[in-house]
């Protein structure tokens, strides 16, 4: 057996193992899987998508004191969102665009987030943030 016959399969094998490891690395955390804010606090991240006047997920639940990050994504038309009780508002997000808001959940209760561009909370889209102790 010559040297090329041995080295080539080993090289290919190492390449495949490295490629497989990189692919697995997308789902494996070596230190911390949760993002942290500038003060080192864990951030609870959510993505809310608008589909035909419905927000998915329509309910988000966190604990008081959590740092919360919500990315709002629009799909079909421009929308702007507000989170009642927290004085938080996105800009007008173009169709297919997104905007992220981040805040500390410092009050318990149920708080609604909805599209403010149509000024009619009764026709949606409507979601709720539940903050528990």
Q: What is the model's pLDDT at position 89?
A: 93
Count of residues making up the chain: 133
Tell me what pLDDT residue 22 has: 38
- From its phi and psi, is residue 115 left (phi > 0), alpha (psi between -120 and 50) or beta? beta
d(CA 83, CA 69): 12
Q: Is residue 17 part of a domain?
A: no
What local confidence, expressed as pLDDT, does residue 52 receive?
A: 76
Per the CB < 8 A criterion, the answer to whether 105 and 64 are in contact is yes
What is each CA distance from 129 to 1, 11, 65, 73, 109, in whole angstroms?
A: 67, 52, 14, 17, 8
* 24: in domain: no
Q: How far apart are CA 68 and CA 130, in angstroms?
A: 12
**Residues lower than pLDDT 70 in the chain:** 1-34, 118-124
5 part of a folded domain = no
Q: How many domains does the chain have?
A: 1
CB atoms near residue 95 (< 10 Å): 11
Asked, for residue 22, whether it belongs to a domain, the answer is no
Q: Do the domain assignments include residue 8?
A: no
For residue 28, being part of any structural domain is answered with: no
Q: Which domain holds residue 59?
A: 43-132
Element holding 131 (H helix, E strand): strand 126-132
pLDDT at position 11, please?
58
Encoded tokens for 84: 């009642």
- 27 within a domain of the structure (yes/no): no
Q: What's residue 36's pLDDT?
A: 72
In a domain, 20, yes or no: no
Closest of 108, 63, 102, 101 to residue 85, by C-alpha: 108
Query: CATH code at 101?
Result: 2.60.40.420
């Amino acid at each position: 057996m010559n040297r090329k016959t041995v080295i080539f399969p080993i090289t290919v094998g190492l390449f495949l193992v490295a490629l497989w490891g990189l692919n697995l690395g997308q789902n494996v955390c070596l230190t911390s899987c949760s993002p942290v804010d500038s003060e080192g606090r864990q951030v609870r991240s959510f993505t809310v998508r608008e589909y035909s006047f419905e927000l998915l997920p329509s309910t988000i639940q966190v604990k008081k004191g959590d740092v919360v990050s919500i990315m709002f994504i629009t799909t079909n038309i421009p929308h702007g969102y507000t989170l009642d009780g927290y004085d938080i508002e996105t800009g007008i997000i173009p169709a297919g665009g997104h905007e992220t808001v981040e805040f500390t959940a410092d009050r318990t209760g149920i708080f609604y987030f909805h599209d403010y561009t149509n000024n009619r909370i009764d026709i949606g889209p409507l979601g709720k943030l539940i903050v528990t102790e």
